[in-house]
Amino acid sequence: MRAQLLDGSARGVLETVRRLGFLQLDPIATVATPQHLVLWSRLGPFDTARLARLLWVERQLFEWNAFIWPIESLPLIRARMRASRRATASSWERRRREFLKQNEGFRRYLLRELERRGPLLGRELEDRSTVRRGKHRWYGSRQVAQMLELLHLRGDVAVVGRRSGQRVWDLAERWYPETDAVPFREAERLLAEQRFRALGVRFEKGEWHAHPDVGSAPVPDRVTLLSPFDRLVHDRDRAEALFGFRYRLEMYVPPAKREYGYYVLPILVGDRLVGRVEPRFDRTTRTLEVLGAWGDTSRLDEALARLAAFLGADRVLTKRRLTSRASPT
């Protein structure tokens, strides 16, 4: 909890991202986007515009591969970008390489247009692909987004802003600052060390090991809710082993087969995962709805009040509550 700044010690957006190492991005905002919800769990109500300023104005953070990273990590991420250019180990890496080879003219067109007219949205670029990869479940049949994504992974283009949630693209050389080159293995070693420090403990050779920089003093008895993408519970097996808390995200499970709900958040009290709740924020009526709750919900109202204040909700509406003092597992 201390390593993840879930003990109430978090101070400021930038400092929190630096300590965590990264924030995962996802467009699903049943309550709030994961990047905002993860920060709220640690900071409480905060100015979400601060995160945007750090990304697009102050450039203390940057976006790559669906994550937000501190700019200090750029030399390490650039090692991954370079490795992406050579990767052929998996079938999808080989398909990616072949797609780029078959659409070399399309690639040159995109880079030329960004150099001449950038920054641009993907929809402001023509689809000049000659060989298609078929309809993608996220990007559709246009190949522009897929090509930009591949060039992004390789470090040729960068996300330099957002317009109505859509990524704005430009040449990477115009956005990223100059950095030293770090060998791939060294970069991976440093990133692994950062993850260890951020997680606090890791399982190695059949034993749990605590990071030496993380203190073991008692954790304050604060209550909060966690995003499904929060690193405390992101590794579901790890969370179950450490906390005895079995948690699964059921968004893609058919409704009739869900054990709990579509977008359920763990309830954290002090250093214990005590239950779960399914909230939904209706932005039209400014209502935070509670569709269900399970486990120990004795402090749920406190957590919901703080969440409602962060979201700007005018009221909290309990549609259906399932409560039990039994084990939340």
CA angle 263/314/290 to nearest 5° reads 30
Rounded to whole angstroms, how far apart are CA atoms 169 and 103? 19
Coil, strand, or helix at residue 34?
helix
Q: Residue 32's pLDDT is what?
A: 96
Question: Which residue stretches of the chain have pLDDT < 50?
Answer: 322-329
Q: Residue 24's pLDDT is what?
A: 96
Q: Residue 139's pLDDT is what?
A: 57
Q: Residue 302's pLDDT is what?
A: 97
Q: Residue 69's pLDDT is what?
A: 98
36-73 pLDDT, tens per residue? 999 999 999 999 999 999 999 999 999 999 999 999 99
pTM: 0.92
Rounded to whole angstroms, how far apart are CA atoms 200 and 263? 26
Query: What residues form DSSP beta bridges with 276?
Result: 266, 294
